[in-house]
Structure 1
C-alpha cells in the first residue's frame, strides 16, 4: 500500500502532459483501452451532453454489448468509468459480456467535457456559437473542418468556453489535465498490481482532448463512434497512442451475436 501511495503521490507532481515520463521511469507494460459510451437519447436527438446525462438507447445497449463480445479475447483486470450513468451502463454491459464479477472503479475525471450553459441544447446551437467565437461566418465551415480532422478539439473546447454566457464550460486545459490525471492514476495502479489490460469507459470529446498532445495523428480531432476505442500503450515511462476511433471490436462482436441468433 505504501508503494502505491508513493507512486500516486509522484504522479500528482507531474505536469499536465501525458508525454511527461512517470516518476523514475516506472518499469512495466500496461495497455489502457479507452471506450466511448454507447448511443444515448441525447445522442439520438443531437443534443449537447456533457455532464448532463441520458440513458442508452436500444442501439446504444446493442453496441456496448457488441464491444464486450468482440473484446472477450482481452483479459481486462481493471475496469473504470466516471459516475455518469451512460458510462456506467456501457461498462456494465461490457463486463456482463466478459462474465466479469469484478468491482468497477469510478473516477469523476473520466467525465465528458462540461459544456456549461449549452448543456441540453441542440448541438447546432452550441457549434454555431463556437464557430462565431472562432470567426467563422457559417456553421458549415466548422463542420467541414471537423469532418476533415482539421479542427483541433482543444480549439473547439476553448471556443465553446468563450461562447458560453455562463462562462462555466470547461477549457481544453482543464479537460486535458483531469483526463491525463485519470490515465496516470490507472497506469500507476496497474503497475503496482501487475495488471496488463485496463478498460476505461469515457466520452468522445474528453478522450480526444486527453490525447491532444500525445499524438500527431489527425484522427484525434475526428468524432468517435459509439463504443469506439483509443488504445494507449504504456512502456517503461512512455505513452504511445494507438488505434484512434477503432470500431473492430464492435464489428467483430456484431458478427458473433448475429451468428448466435441464427
Structure 2
C-alpha cells in the first residue's frame, strides 16, 4: 500500500517580502506568513488529514510554520534545509542567475561562491525523505521545507517540462503531495493557500 508525503514550503518571511536571497540565512515570518500557515491548518482539518509524523528543517521559518500548522510533536532535520546560496545570502534576488526554459534550478552556479549545487540539494532531500518514508510506521507524513529544496526534490520525479505543463507553483505555504512505494515518489498534486 502506498504511503503519502505532504511536502510544504514555509510561510512568507521578511526576506521573501523584501525580495532578498534566503537560503542558509533566516528571517522571521511576516503577518501574512503566519496567517497563511493558519489557513493551511484549517485546510488540513477540512480534509481530515491526520499525520502520523511531522518534520521540518532546522531553520526558524520552517519550525515556526510547522508549529502554526499542527500542534503534534515533530522533529527538525538538517536534510530538509534550504539551498545554501553562499555569499549571495541576504542579497537582492535580482542577483540570482536566470533559469532558462527546461533548466532544473541554478545548477552549480553557487558552488563557486561557497554555496551548494542543485544536485547536492536534490541528493540530500531525496536521501532524507526516502529515509523517513522507508520507516514502517510512516504512512502519512508532513514535512516543512523551502522553495529551492522542494523544487529540487520535485525535479527528481518530474521533468521541468512536466512541472511547467502542470503549472506547479511553489508559493509560500504551497503543499506538494506525493505517494511513496518501493523507494519511488509519485507526484499526486499540489495546493496553494489563498492569498488575501
Q: Do both proteins adopt the same fold according to a TM-score greater than 0.5, normalized to the shorter chain?
A: yes
CA positional deviation for 1:197: 1.2
Task: Return the match for 1:215 from 158, 171, 179.
Answer: 158
Question: Residues 60 and 177 from structure 1, CA distance in 2 versus in 1: closer, same or farther, beyond 3 angstroms?
Answer: same
Q: Is the 8 A contact 1:151 1:221 kept in 2?
A: no
User: After superposition, what is the alpha-carbon deviation per residue over 1:183-208, rounded to whole angstroms, capped at 9, x for unaligned?
Assistant: 1121022xx22x32110000011111
Task: Return the match for 1:71 from 44, 60, 63.
Answer: 44
Partner of 1:153: 104
Moved segments of 4+, more than 3 Å: 219-223
Task: Return the match for 2:132 from 181, 186, 191.
Answer: 186
User: After superposition, what is the alpha-carbon deviation per residue over 1:10-41, rounded to whole angstroms, capped at 9, x for unaligned?
Assistant: xxxxxxxxxxxxxxxxxx42100000000000
Question: Residues 210 and 38 from structure 1, CA distance in 2 versus in 1: closer, same or farther, beyond 3 angstroms?
Answer: same
Name the CA distance, whole Å, in 1 between partners of 2:36 and 2:18. 18
Q: Report the TM-score when normalising by structure 2.
A: 0.89
Question: Residues 221 and 48 from structure 1, CA distance in 2 versus in 1: closer, same or farther, beyond 3 angstroms?
Answer: farther
Matches within 5 A, 1:221-236: 223-236=169-182
Matches within 5 A, 1:76-225: 76-95=51-70, 100=71, 102-125=72-95, 127=96, 130-131=97-98, 142=99, 145=100, 150-154=101-105, 156-162=106-112, 164=113, 168-189=114-135, 192-193=136-137, 195-216=138-159, 217-219=162-164, 223-225=169-171
Give the number of equivalent residue pairs: 191
Name the CA distance, whole Å, in 2 between partners of 1:215 and 1:198. 20
User: After superposition, what is the alpha-carbon deviation per residue over 1:156-181, rounded to whole angstroms, capped at 9, x for unaligned?
Assistant: 1422334x3xxx11011110111001
Which structure has the larger Rg?
Answer: 1
Structure 2 unpaired stretches of 5+ = none
Question: Residues 170 and 236 from structure 1, CA distance in 2 versus in 1: closer, same or farther, beyond 3 angstroms?
Answer: closer
Is the deviation greater in 222-231 or in 205-214? 222-231
Q: Is the 8 A contact 2:177 2:188 kept in 1?
A: yes
What SS is found at the alignment partner of 1:173? helix
User: After superposition, what is the alpha-carbon deviation per residue over 1:51-95, rounded to whole angstroms, capped at 9, x for unaligned?
Assistant: 100010000000011011111111111100011000000000001
The CA RMSD over aligned residues, in Å, is 2.1
